[in-house]
Amino acid sequence: MVRTSTGVVQVTSSDVRHSTPKVTVTQEPPTTSQTRTTPGPSVSRGPPTTPGPETLGPFLMSSTERWNTPGTTDRHPKLLDTSTVAGIADQTSSLTPGGGQEDAVYANTIQLFAPTTTPISCQNFRNHTSHLLKNNGFTREYEALPGDFCDSVNDAILPQNISRNRFKGLYPYDNNRVVLRPIERDDTDYINASYIDGYKESMAYIATQGPLPGTIPDFWHMVWSEDCGKIVMLTNLVEPPKVKCAKYWPDEAQSEAYGHYSITCLKVNTYSHYVHRVLSLSRSGDQENQEARKIHHFQFTAWPDHDVPNPTALVIFHTLVRHSPTLHEGPLLVHCSAGVGRSGTYIALDILTREAEATSCVSVFPTVRHIRRQRMKMVQNLAQYWFLHEALAEALESMDSVIMAHDVLHGSVWKSDDKTSQLPDGVRKKLLAQFQALDSQRPQPSMEQTKTARQQENVWKNRFPDILPVEEYRVCLWTPDESASDYINAVFLPSHYDHMGFIATQLPLADTVLDFWRMTFDWKVATIVQLIDGPPDQHSDGLFPVPGSHISLGPFTVCSKDASPWLHGIHRQTLMVQNKEVGDIWQSVQVYLVSSPDILNMKNTAPWLSLTKVLAQVPSQGTPPPVLIQCFDGASKSCFLIALAITLRSIDENGQASPYLIAHLLQNARPQAFMHFEEYEFLICCMVDHLRKTNKSLPDDQEVIDQSIRWQNENTYGNI
């Protein structure tokens, strides 16, 4: 990014790929509207009252027709000097009379240039985004989007409705707001929510603010009246120091009444980046019709306040929502806090992926322009507009990567007549194309992103000069030692349930064994898997004590309690670890030693499937400690095992998985993951074998595996 003397910031191609473009903030007074004294007619879902050329959706006419059709643009475009950058207005409002919160809401200025209005082919989309980045195109396109108050907002600012708005100056337009059916005579028909068109589908979405405590009954009334089967929530309830949304659902296995509706939380599954709840919605007091509707509630929990999330994580979440079935045919309901920034970004991503599936092209600017005319500030700022392109690029590259369990078990494409190959030729060809895309988009961390690993006092601790921990994912040590260094070549990687569920690390060097045990103790590691093949000098003698003995390293004593063969040539060892400076508390550690070349050459799926069943357990309570996976380079086999554990858990719980996206998510922290096609192919082979075995009966190893799991649950801590 380049900052000029006037304070204007330009996004440049030298910026880190996943960093957030910054923009200048200037003041712009809020627009005012006349107040109407009588509310409009009470109607249910229907077309806008004054349909324009784009009423039926942004893609019912071509991009050129939409741009050139009279009435479809606010202003005629004109070219700007390339040094001109749009400002993002920062309207900091006070409390509204009804309790609206103080927050920053953004609006673009009126400066314009000719944006990209023609569809871009999916194949060329990455090149297109690179061109925008190099030529300040993101900023210039963003400033060409419609501003605020494209239509009247009279209903939103009526005295009886103003307190129902979370933010001052952020209202739905009169012509396409969701109009509630009044249940009682004195009810208002107002809720801060807008219909949004989809790809060749009118009113495919509802974008709404996060409910206030007093509007929760209205929210559920809207869900019922509009026959919504899925709710997408893109905020946490609290993002310190601000309350972003009222909690509008009960805890698991609990019920709560909200106005005329009763909600029961049937199930909650918490994952590394999102939560999936299954809710039962029924209408109270309706004795003739005791209908209970199943509502799927998807909450994305990894969107940082005033920033953008990891695009791969959001695409994985979006893929789950897309492929989750529902019996209800109403709009997809999407909300964040204000219902414009994150919500607009997610809705635009969904529209564009559907356009890509139908036409192999995407129209980003026309799509965002259209949804902004339906709800103000959709895709709220420049950073989100840039992020939309990043997430869309990943979605396009992974579009055909989702594997459905039913297809593997019953689809003809997965059946092979070749007994020498585990996968059909057609599947292998598709996987090769996916791997090539994965390899071409492999992250390239900058020196700044790996600065700690490159410090003079740490360089010697790295086995390989090009396999370095990225700062954002680096594991830090707490237990002090003589060097006072917190560095070890190890990174956090997500599990299916926790964004820090695994630690991937290299085999320690002779002088970093103490750091290994510092890490094990500091992060309360209870399970270690060592994946080391090759000559004995690669096994780091002295890392683990031989059975019946102990080793002492600094303040640590590590005792071997027992050791025995486990399954498939894998050995299991039970260790007890004590830090003498902390007290007489021993930490139990279960170690699985995998050294057989027959296992590590990735030909036999059975040992790998057995290991993942031990690693990928549902936490019974709280957040479990990370599982430590160790291989020679800290990347190749460690990341493979972690990817396999996530993939199998995803396909078991959701009936679907995208190994491509899972592998790419791990590459963000360990770019050296999946360097070879054979690793990616074997990942799919393991998944297929897992599905076929579990579909018929439990594998023969299940009893032994269950015993290991019980041991881990019962013996994490103890006294020796």
List residues with catalytic annotation.
336
Longest CA–CA separation in the chain, Å: 86
**Structural Rg of the chain based on CA atoms:** 28
Stretch (H or E) spanning 224: helix 216-225
Total residue count of the chain as it appears in this document? 720
503 three-class SS: strand
Beta carbons within 10 angstroms of residue 696's beta carbon:
9
Contacts within 8 Å (CB) and 24+ apart, 572-577: 572/708, 573/544, 573/547, 574/715, 575/544, 575/545, 576/718, 576/720, 577/517, 577/520, 577/521
Phi-psi region of 464 (alpha: psi -120 to 50; beta: other; left: phi over 0): beta
Distance CA(134)–CA(145), nearest Å, equals 20
DSSP assignment letter at 626:
P
The residue among 387, 386, 348, 351 whose CA lies nearest residue 368 is 348
Tokens standing for 447? 């020196």
CB crowding 642-652: b at 16 or more within 10 Å, else e: bbbbbbbbbbe
Q: What is the SS3 assignment for 281?
A: strand
Pairing of strands 292-300, 274-283: antiparallel
Element (H, E) at 26: strand 25-26
Do 524 and 586 form a contact (C-beta atoms < 8 A)?
no
